[in-house]
């Protein structure tokens, strides 16, 4: 369970260690919630060459992704990406925006949980299984993946969003960065459902909607009633996987404050 505080502290220590070895950071955001997925202490990357990826663009709203690319692009290099894209898109993007004076760019892929960091690293390393030995300055078995003029750490940097407000938490739930099983705060669930309701033009309230959803999929508990807990969890899981529609939840472009 990545939400255990001990794990969060460990992840923090790891990132600091990785930062000593790299010059560039590819921050992976969920294209459906670019604001909520940057709600972490981004200052830890100060002094590094920061590049953004709006990932999972296949399950975001295309028009809004274009607008986010324009907005973020005014402050830093950014591309959209998804699992169907060729990994050369990322490679060329990193090369084009490399600022290092050395002859290779040393890159860390970072972001909040579930934005697709590991998928990108696996896709890259799948094609280039040739790894170059141990990583100077980093102890625990982390290695460089050799991409010619790019050296990529084979382990992602995991950062954790600050749940400053209900809205951020709700959006992180909607994109699967906060696992539904870990949320016992009904306000967050309720806010998330309200956001979905607006996007999907749903009229029913939460209880009715989830009950119908569960019954229609056969999530029945003893006595023939809807298994509400299971229905709720599966609803949020499918929604976060884009299987109930392509929705972009962050739309307030003026809130992009990264410089």
Residue ranges binding ligand GDP (CB under 6 A): 55-56, 58-59, 82-83, 111, 113-119, 156, 242
Write out the two tokens for 138: 């980093």
Query: Element (H or E) spanning 132, and its range?
Result: strand 131-134
Q: Pick the closer one to ligand GDP by CB: 28 or 226.
A: 28
How many Å apart are CA 237 and CA 244, to the nearest integer? 10
How many Å apart are CA 147 and CA 125, to the nearest integer? 9
How many Å apart are CA 225 and CA 47, to the nearest integer? 56
Q: Pick the closer one to ligand GDP by CB: 138 or 159.
A: 159
Q: What is the DSSP letter of 162?
A: -
Residue 88 Cβ vs ligand GDP, minimum distance, rounded to whole Å: 16
Residue 1 Cβ vs ligand GDP, minimum distance, rounded to whole Å: 13
Residue identified by tokens 């921050």 is 27
Residue 39 Cβ vs ligand GDP, minimum distance, rounded to whole Å: 15
Query: Element (H or E) spanning 120, and its range?
Result: helix 117-127
Work out the burial of residue 133: count CB atoms within 10 Å of its CB; fewer than 13 is exposed, 13-18 middle, 19 or more buried. exposed
Alpha helices in the chain (DSSP H): 5-19, 62-73, 88-96, 117-127, 166-174, 186-200, 206-216, 228-240
Residue 121 Cβ vs ligand GDP, minimum distance, rounded to whole Å: 8
Q: Pick the closer one to ligand GDP by CB: 16 or 83.
A: 83
Residue 45 Cβ vs ligand GDP, minimum distance, rounded to whole Å: 16
Residue 19 Cβ vs ligand GDP, minimum distance, rounded to whole Å: 18
């Amino acid at each position: 369970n990545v939400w255990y505080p001990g794990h969060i502290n460990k992840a923090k220590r790891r990132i600091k260690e990785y930062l000593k070895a790299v010059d560039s950071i590819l921050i992976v955001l969920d294209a459906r919630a670019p604001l909520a997925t940057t709600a972490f202490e981004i200052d830890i990357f100060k002094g590094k060459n920061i590049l953004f990826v709006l990932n999972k663009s296949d399950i975001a709203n295309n028009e809004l992704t274009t607008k986010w690319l324009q907005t973020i692009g005014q402050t830093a290099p950014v591309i959209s990406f998804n699992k169907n894209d060729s990994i050369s898109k990322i490679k060329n993007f990193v090369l084009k925006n490399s600022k290092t004076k050395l002859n290779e760019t040393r890159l860390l892929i970072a972001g909040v949980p579930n934005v697709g960091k590991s998928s990108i690293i696996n896709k890259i390393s799948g094609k280039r299984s040739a790894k170059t030995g141990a990583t100077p300055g980093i102890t625990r078995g982390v290695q460089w993946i050799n991409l010619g003029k790019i050296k990529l750490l084979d382990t992602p940097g995991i950062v954790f969003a600050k749940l400053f407000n209900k809205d951020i938490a709700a959006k992180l739930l909607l994109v699967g960065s906060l696992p539904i099983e870990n949320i016992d705060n009904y306000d967050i669930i309720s806010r998330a459902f309200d956001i979905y309701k607006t996007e999907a033009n749903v009229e029913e309230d939460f209880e009715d909607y989830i009950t119908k959803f569960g019954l229609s999929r056969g999530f029945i508990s003893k006595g023939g009633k809807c298994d509400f807990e299971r229905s709720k969890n599966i609803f949020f899981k499918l929604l976060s996987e884009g299987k109930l529609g392509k929705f972009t939840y962050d739309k307030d472009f003026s809130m992009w404050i990264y410089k």
